[in-house]
A = this chain, B = another copy of it.
């Protein structure tokens, strides 16, 4: 007997049904927004990640050499792949390019609740617009997807900021400050102690006094205060852009879910503008549910023409934690409309009924294992069949079948020629 690999989950039908229902809401919402599905490879050249430096992601790659000597890696995220795809067809694609996809990614990380080594994300991105409406549309999609899952403002909030606010404030300090490193410190600040946070800021080039001042300013989250503290064009522009995004989000119905939070920085270096993370409003799920933001420089860094971009990627390991907390995670069980039960040699008639019910789009099972009446009824119960159609030899001699409601246990006989007849979804009630 073989074991699966640590951090790689098997999903059996009950749990998978709940996951599929969740993914369907995200994808249907994306389709309504005009995002178009793409399909992307599991493997890419490892250089797409290792050519950069500083990302934790590089240490977590499932990278190896393939039989042709290529350095390849299981993709730990989608963004570099979609950037490569945009560059490859930059001329033919009409802009804005709006893409989505749901698929697994892989990182060799510590396994814990809500974090597996194989994890699924629905990535949603817009390429080719630097306007605040694009950022707002990403926020609006995320908000609509969340409310489509049954979540409300009581359950989630988007903490939103702008990369140039932190960057612009940091560059006002004298001395040799590593801005990216300091921003990574901010990103970690809610997971570590204040002393550790200030140590990281110190390592990034701030003095301890500056670290304390910077910490206070960021924690307060007052846009006007930040603007006047920095007093630079960059910070003023960033504040204005953030306010424009929030104004567009108001028109798009997502403003009510957004809270300004300057501590929101996002770990990845490629973000350039507005960034946001979705959190449990009640704080019961302590970590970020998912995040997104603007990454205007990535396409150019991949050899393309300058192409602004903004995106978000809800993960299907963390989202269930919030949905369970909120009581909106779907029942982890399979559902069945009809079970067509055969007693004796009634296969041909049972098959006719089964096919007619399936033609109407219903989920219908019939016996394929030559089992007894009781065993079939137990099975019908185990798959949560709503209605059982009993096709028995003796009934058929009278040209009848029996319709059994599985919740009440009641049953009624009806003419076999009249079942299902022209009914779209015949049940016990139709014949009783």
Contact = CB atoms under 8 A, between A and B. Distances in A.
A221 interface: no
Copies in the complex: 2
B45 A3 contact: yes
Interface stretch (A96-104, A264-272, A279-287): A96-104
Nearest to A379: B94
Contacts of A214: none
Nearest to A310: B368
B131 A370 contact: yes
Contact of A40 (B3, B11, B40, B365): B11
Nearest to A85: B10
A410 interface: no
Contact of A17 (B32, B36, B351): B36
A129 B37 CA distance: 38
A40 B98 CA distance: 29
Contacts of A248: 347
Interface in A21-47: 28, 31-34, 36-45, 47
Contact of A364 (B33, B37, B89, B131): B33
A137 B11 CA distance: 24
A196 B47 CA distance: 45
A72 interface: yes
Q: Which of A16, A19, A42 has the most CB of B within 10 A?
A: A42
Nearest to A334: B36
Interface of A: 1-6, 8-13, 16-17, 19-20, 28, 31-34, 36-45, 47-48, 62, 64-68, 70, 72, 74, 80-81, 84-85, 87-89, 93-96, 98-99, 104, 106, 108, 118, 126, 128-129, 131, 133-134, 136-137, 144, 248, 251-253, 302-304, 334, 336, 347-348, 351, 355, 358, 361-365, 367-370, 378-379, 382-383
30 contacts: A2-B45, A4-B41, A4-B44, A8-B42, A9-B39, A9-B41, A10-B39, A10-B40, A10-B41, A11-B39, A11-B40, A12-B85, A12-B89, A12-B93, A13-B37, A16-B38, A17-B36, A34-B363, A34-B364, A41-B118, A42-B118, A43-B118, A64-B64, A128-B369, A129-B368, A131-B368, A134-B368, A248-B347, A251-B347, A253-B355
